[in-house]
């Protein structure tokens, strides 16, 4: 931001580039101090804006400061006013856009991390910020909050004509370049002033007759500390969420490693069990039909007397069908 022109009739300032200290752009403190130092008691202030947007906190503070100035404010969009820059433009009693200018409005954004509670807090904070932005747009356009909210949901880009139709702009300016005697082109005085030394404003001073007076706004001196505190709180919250996210990630990595080790151990146990089962089957094949696996033990006689009874007392038949039980029976008789 810089002072472009200063006369007895008006002060002209420019807000070019990104908004906010986080983006190495124009932070609210610098902009507001410049405004206080440079515009003095000027009855009229011209604010030239060309910005893609940036920090919502800084942008709202600049908007509030401009709204509180008792001077008549004219905002001129020098190319594009997007995101929070479009909110700053709403501080103008009169907003002028070139025919080729653009304006964009959308929902506020934030980067968040952490548990579900932290994410819910971040979402609630964004809803609150959106309500503040909607109020600024509604105050200028006289449109309903619901209608503006829907436009923001869809990220609405507007030409100068569309912005005027919807109330975001008051006047569309057609610029025509003219050739001078030496064949060079001249540009509109307002834009030439942005890149030249201070000069006398060629435009006559016209006292607005029907322009609505600026509505009273709270003293920025009280707003800025509150916004700075909110910014510090958000930064601390984001740092806390980042630490929580890192902790959760570490716990997940540890659990993943433990699960992998358990799976590998299970595979080894499974392989050993399959090997033991193969060896057991081989032993069964060698022993013949008299030996039964434990899982089928309840399907037939479990002792010699039961087997003998099942075969009608036929000793020879029982001995052939159940040699294992016979061997156990003979072994038991020897002990007795």
Residues designated as active site: 83, 106
With b for 16 or more beta-carbon neighbours within 10 A and e for fewer, the 29-64 pattern comes to: eebbebbeebbeebebbbbbbbbbbbbbbbbbbbbb
Three-state SS string across 181-192, please? CCCCEECCHHHH
Sequence-separated (6 or more) residues with CB below 8 Å from residue 180? 186
Pairing mode, if any, of strands 185-186 and 178-179?
antiparallel
Query: Distance between CA 38 and CA 1 in Å, rounded?
Result: 11
Distance CA 164, CA 73 (A): 17
Output the DSSP codes for 291-306.
---GGGGGGS--SHHH
Q: What does DSSP assign to residue 55?
A: -
d(CA 61, CA 57): 6
- CA atoms of 13 and 35, how far apart (whole Å): 8
| Residue 252 burial (CB count, 10 A) | 10
Largest CA distance in the chain: 138
**Tokens 């080729």 -> residue:** 100
Q: How far apart are CA 28 and CA 30, in angstroms?
A: 6
CA distance 85 to 63: 9
| 288: alpha, beta or left? (left if phi > 0; alpha if psi -120 to 50) | left
> Distance between CA atoms of 178 and 183, rounded to whole angstroms?
9
């Amino acid at each position: 931001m810089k002072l472009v022109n200063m006369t007895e009739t008006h002060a002209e300032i420019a807000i070019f580039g990104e908004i906010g200290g986080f983006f190495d752009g124009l932070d609210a403190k610098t902009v507001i101090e410049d405004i206080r130092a440079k515009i003095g008691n000027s009855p009229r202030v011209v604010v030239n804006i060309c910005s893609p947007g940036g920090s919502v906190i800084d942008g709202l503070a600049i908007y509030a400061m401009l709204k509180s100035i008792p001077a008549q404010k004219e905002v001129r969009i020098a190319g594009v006013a997007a995101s929070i820059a479009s909110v700053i433009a709403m501080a103008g009693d009169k907003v002028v856009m070139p025919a080729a200018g653009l304006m964009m409005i959308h929902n506020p954004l934030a980067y968040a991390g952490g548990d579900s509670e932290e994410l819910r807090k971040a979402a609630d904070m964004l809803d609150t910020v959106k309500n503040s932005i909607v109020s600024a747009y509604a105050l200028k356009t006289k449109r309903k909050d619901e209608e503006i909210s829907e436009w923001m949901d869809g990220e609405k880009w507007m030409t100068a004509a569309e912005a005027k139709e919807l109330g975001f702009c008051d006047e569309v300016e057609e610029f025509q370049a003219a050739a001078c005697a030496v064949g060079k082109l001249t540009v509109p005085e307002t834009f030439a002033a942005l890149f030249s030394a201070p000069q006398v404003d060629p435009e006559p001073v016209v006292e607005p007759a029907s322009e609505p007076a600026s509505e009273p706004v709270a003293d920025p001196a009280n707003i800025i500390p509150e916004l700075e505190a909110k910014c510090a709180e958000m930064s601390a919250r984001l740092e806390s969420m980042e630490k929580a996210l890192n902790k959760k990630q570490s716990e997940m990595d540890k659990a993943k490693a433990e699960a992998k080790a358990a799976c590998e151990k299970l595979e080894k146990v499974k392989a050993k069990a399959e090997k033991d089962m193969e060896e057991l089957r081989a032993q069964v094949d060698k022993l013949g039909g008299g030996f039964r696996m434990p899982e089928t033990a309840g399907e037939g006689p479990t002792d010699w007397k039961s087997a003998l009874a099942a075969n009608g007392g036929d000793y020879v038949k029982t001995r052939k069908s159940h040699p294992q039980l016979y061997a156990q029976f003979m072994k038991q008789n020897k002990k007795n």
